[in-house]
Amino acid sequence: MNKTRALWKRLLGRLRYGLLIQEILDRLARAEVFIYPYFVVLEPTGACPPPAADARCTFRLLTAGDVDEVVRALVGRITAELFLEQLTRSECLGVFYDGKLAGYTWVRLDMVAVPEGLGQAVFELQPDEAYLFDMYVAFPYRGLQLAGILRQSMQSELIRRARTRFYSLTLAFNRSSRRFKARLGARELELRILLHLRIASLPGCDLRLWRRRPYVRSAWLRRIPAGKAPA
């Protein structure tokens, strides 16, 4: 009964934020059938100043030593194994509220990666570019405007290292994320679709549907090799 109630609550929440179709696609992905239309997005650089950070907020890059706190604070969101594996190729900025981890955001400096694409690149990054992904704020801390502050803090850290051009990906049916980025002044440069039937170890493809200037250095079609889905 509790599982049924939780399922209905999740579905109603997804419907409220325009994510019902994405919920269906996510459930297909769990069955190894990936149909993911997504946008390549050019993020603004400090176009909108974030709200003043609460004095109880602190920020720092997370390390392997934070793994237990990450798993505790974001239970069900990420495993210890996945967090440690992700740190080998990405960096993670955490936001702490009253000394407790409240959320995080990730960045890659080598490439923009195909979603669920087993490490395949949409395109490689230049020395002044960065790929922002997987920003998350834990439920108890939502409503404190931490998402905008966290994003701006990550950008400030990257600008300090001469990384001044930022990209991200947005799933096409995630209307709330698209609206959030649009309010910040982000631009959708490409619409692509990932198609991958991992049953029987079949290869997949990542296909560009349309694009606009400024063009990114992506291939029109990229083959995705057969392989097991990430945990």
At 47 the pLDDT is 47
At 3 the pLDDT is 55
* 54 contacts 97 by C-beta, under 8 angstroms: yes
Query: How far is it, in rounded angstroms, from Cα 123 to Cα 112?
Result: 6
Name 229's bridge partners: none
Is the CATH number 3.40.630.30 carried by domain 32-224?
Answer: yes
At 207 the pLDDT is 95
Phi, psi of 117 (to 5 degrees): -100, 20
At 227 the pLDDT is 64
At 200 the pLDDT is 60
Q: Which of 45, 44, 90 is nearest to 64 (CA)?
A: 90
- The encoded tokens of residue 75 equal 């239970």
- Compute the 3-state secondary structure of the chain and give helix, strand, coil in percent, each to the nearest 5: 30, 35, 35
At 32 the pLDDT is 74
At 54 the pLDDT is 72
At 51 the pLDDT is 52
User: Domain limits of the chain?
Assistant: 32-224
At 225 the pLDDT is 82
At 31 the pLDDT is 67
Query: How far is it, in rounded angstroms, from Cα 74 to Cα 203?
Result: 33
pLDDT tens across the length of the chain (231 residues): 555 555 445 545 555 555 677 777 777 677 677 888 999 999 988 644 555 557 788 999 999 999 999 999 888 888 999 999 999 999 999 999 999 999 999 999 999 999 875 678 999 999 999 999 999 999 889 888 888 888 889 999 999 999 999 999 999 988 888 888 888 889 999 999 999 877 767 788 999 999 999 999 999 999 888 765 554
